[in-house]
Structure 1
Amino acid sequence: MDKVHIALGDNSYDILIGNNLPIAELMKEALPKTKDLLIVSNETIAPLYLEPLMASLTNQGFKVKSCILKDGECYKTVESYMQIMTALLEDGFGRDCCLVALGGGVVGDITGFAASSYQRGVAFVQIPTTLLAMVDSSVGGKTAINHPMGKNMIGAFYQPKIVIADLDFLKTLPEREIAAGMAEVIKYGVILDEEFFTYLEQAQGTAKLDLAYVVKRCCEWKAYVVSQDEKEKGMRALLNYGHTFGHAIEVGMGFGVYLHGEAVAVGMVVAAYVAAKTNKGLSLEQYNRIKNILPYYNLPYAIPKELTGADFISHMRHDKKVKLGKINYVLPESIGKSAVFNDCSDQDISNLIDELKNTQD
């Protein structure tokens, strides 16, 4: 079992990574004074893993209930949030309870937000079951639900007590979900780690990847960045590479049409194209490396035909990255190095998106 520590003072915690992990025992160690647990999962994951997890937790002395949500980004809503709140209230959970997120990024985000706000804050644990959640969304304490006008617009920074990433969960994960997770993996290489990007580039697909190494490497980077900047006032913004454009795709196409990782993959290509065309340091050769790695991992790179540059701007104007009236973009200066820029006008970005889209037709 590998361990990655997130150093945040009183909010510090460990990410545990491995196969066939003793999840109930690890939770007992992390929550020595907790008795009441509410496991939040979804209709896809619960039939696979909920019953044995509840049994093992009960054997460790926990009192366990469950709340099963519908599956999909389109259900990352206030209604799902209220479903968790109702379950907590109906079963009389107090401030000493703990919420357990058993699922991917959607379940983790909703559960974390519910934990942050139930009786002004209770403990929660992340048990990610998707690659995307293991390498990114379960780590760092970003919790949220969506609004029809924007993704993750309602939420809080709220750290879990522990993250338990059992790689055995990935054995039942559909190939499309594995691909979506790889977008976040590739992201770390582009923004922070050229050596890691080259490793992914040379592997040319998940079959040759050491997933334990991949998850650990991504978590180490996430831990480093979050420890430096927990609430995204500086360096942590780099982790949004591909996300500003990607969120516009998710909103513009309707939540669930593109998986989050798929939208981020396209967003990374758009951001790299903007960087290359606006002289931010990224060469066209490096842009092509970023674009060309995506098909190896079954990820899209083409802008949806339904969206124009003006559509992107309209949706990005509702993004959290807008500050003082300017949209902040994470752009690669080279592979392994990135920065935040806000010197691009809306019209220039719109024109570049349309220009890129026309080359892809």
Structure 2
Amino acid sequence: MTAPAPDPSSTVAIELGDRRYDILIGSGLIDASSSWSGLPRSSTALIVTNDVVAPLYLERLKRQLESHYARIETVVLPDGEQHKDWASLDMVIDHLLAVAADRKTVLFALGGGVIGDITGFAAAIYMRGVPFVQVPTTLLAQVDSSVGGKTAINHPRGKNMVGAFYQPARVIADLDTLDSLPERELSAGLAEIIKYGPIADVPFLAWIEDNLDAILARDKSALAYAVKRSCEIKAWVVGQDEREAGLRAILNFGHTFGHAIETGLGYGAWLHGEGVGCGMVLAAELSARLGLMPASFVDRMARLIERARLPVKAPAMPIDRWLDLMRVDKKNEGGEIRFVVIEGLGKAGMRGAPDALVAEVIAVHTEAESR
């Protein structure tokens, strides 16, 4: 299979009644005046970004917003998952208060998933809610974290444990920002693309396998299709279950294991997508050991994730540490660790598993020493 030629830009809608919004996908969107028309009006806009993205795109975004907002403020946060915390959130809130921002002030999240989550959470809690716009600049953010309204910061005891569901006014995914993305970050984003296949779309999984090299080479046609299809699947899920009461949990395939890796090693040691990639191998193994999938599925997932230049072996941690970390998970009920498993290719579900079985799964896919 090959990627279809994309339109210059595509739009995917998140249907949530009066909170409906669009995801714009294409090249040149930051510099296109049409990207910024029709957004909430205010005298003040605040752009939140980080010290890696700011030199690349901050001035370009400011130029586009100058015709819409009389005053444009900026907050530049340190880069990295380890800074997705109270201190960074407080920097945003403190700046809003320092400039006397009112409840119509519009926040713009310019960056990857960390910036999007912090900005969205700040928008959710400042004056009990102000508008915000997602401008994701990483592949992972474009296909997952900027879409669907999950906002949060990390806690030392658990990832994304403090946050809110709060939808943006728009998502503007400019594919050209991926040109400056480091190889490691590009691969991390692939994990969130790969997950959509086994949980919801078997033909898309096959397409990813056939077009992975093109995505890694940053072919714009392949990237455009991968981003659009990922957003379409997530839009379909979020439209049915905005607050993760049931169906939306399937989007966490690989995340229970992955979050444990991120938290256990210290935020930033592994990228989120690296944890999710490895976590999908573990979740595939668990699916097989529960009798839901054949062993060949585990091999298929491991081959694809390894081709995406993501780890397929988990870091060495004591099993008690693994279990303690996974018990701090939003999907758990009554103290039972619950995992997203594949019940048939293209169909995911939630299952508990005995600690002994989980330990076996981890042991099979653990490297000799920490990565």
Relative to the length of structure 2, the TM-score reads 0.93
CA distance in 2, matches of 1:204, 1:156: 34
Offset at 1:245? 0.5
Q: Is the 8 A contact 2:313 2:367 kept in 1?
A: no
Given the superposition, is the C-alpha separation of residues 108 and 223 from structure 1 closer, same or farther in structure 2, using an over 3 Å criterion? same
Amino acid corresponding to residue 89 of structure 2 in structure 1: Y
Amino acid corresponding to residue 346 of structure 2 in structure 1: G
Residue 315 of structure 2: aligned partner:
304
Offset at 1:34? 2.4
Cα deviation per residue 1:226-267 (whole Å; 9 max; x = unaligned)?
000000001100000000100000001110000000000000
Can you give the 5+ residue segments of structure 2 that lack an aligned partner in the other structure? 1-8
Cα deviation per residue 1:45-96 (whole Å; 9 max; x = unaligned)?
0011101211221133442110000000000000000000011011110001
- Residue 227 of structure 1 aligns to a residue whose secondary structure is helix
Instruction: Quote the sequence identity (%).
Output: 48
Q: CA RMSD in A?
A: 1.6
CA distance in 2, matches of 1:202, 1:178: 17
* Displaced runs of 4 or more, over 4 A: 358-361
Residue 288 of structure 1: aligned partner:
299
Residue 6 of structure 2: aligned partner:
none
Given the superposition, is the C-alpha separation of residues 185 and 322 from structure 1 closer, same or farther in structure 2, using an over 3 Å criterion? same
CA distance in 2, matches of 1:147, 1:37: 28
Q: Is the 8 A contact 1:308 1:353 kept in 2?
A: no
Residue 325 of structure 2: aligned partner:
315
| 1:81 matched to 2:89 | yes
CA distance in 2, matches of 1:94, 1:219: 32
CA distance in 2, matches of 1:136, 1:39: 21
- Residue 233 of structure 1 aligns to a residue whose secondary structure is coil
Q: Is the 8 A contact 2:108 2:133 kept in 1?
A: yes
Amino acid corresponding to residue 99 of structure 2 in structure 1: D
Which of 227, 246, 266 aligns to 1:215? It is 227
| 1:159 matched to 2:159 | no
Can you give the 5+ residue segments of structure 1 that lack an aligned partner in the other structure? none
Q: Is the 8 A contact 1:24 1:53 kept in 2?
A: no
Amino acid corresponding to residue 37 of structure 2 in structure 1: K
Residue 177 of structure 1: aligned partner:
185
CA distance in 1, matches of 2:91, 2:365: 42
Amino acid corresponding to residue 90 of structure 2 in structure 1: M
| 1:128 matched to 2:131 | no
Amino acid corresponding to residue 115 of structure 2 in structure 1: V
Given the superposition, is the C-alpha separation of residues 360 and 337 from structure 1 closer, same or farther in structure 2, using an over 3 Å criterion? farther
Offset at 1:358? 7.0
CA distance in 2, matches of 1:56, 1:295: 40
| 1:139 matched to 2:147 | yes
CA distance in 2, matches of 1:12, 1:323: 31
CA distance in 2, matches of 1:109, 1:147: 13
Offset at 1:311? 2.0
Which of 167, 176, 189 aligns to 1:168? It is 176
Which of 102, 115, 126 aligns to 1:94? It is 102
| 1:263 matched to 2:263 | no
CA distance in 2, matches of 1:4, 1:51: 27
- Residue 145 of structure 1 aligns to a residue whose secondary structure is strand
Which of 187, 196, 206 aligns to 1:198? It is 206
Q: Is the 8 A contact 1:39 1:101 kept in 2?
A: yes
Given the superposition, is the C-alpha separation of residues 301 and 137 from structure 1 closer, same or farther in structure 2, using an over 3 Å criterion? same
- Residue 133 of structure 2 aligns to a residue whose secondary structure is strand
Cα deviation per residue 1:22-60 (whole Å; 9 max; x = unaligned)?
4554223122x3231100000000011101211221133
| 1:330 matched to 2:340 | yes
Offset at 1:4? 0.4
Q: Is the 8 A contact 1:130 1:173 kept in 2?
A: yes
Residue 56 of structure 2: aligned partner:
48
CA distance in 2, matches of 1:35, 1:226: 32
Given the superposition, is the C-alpha separation of residues 104 and 64 from structure 1 closer, same or farther in structure 2, using an over 3 Å criterion? same
Offset at 1:204? 4.0
- Residue 34 of structure 1 aligns to a residue whose secondary structure is coil
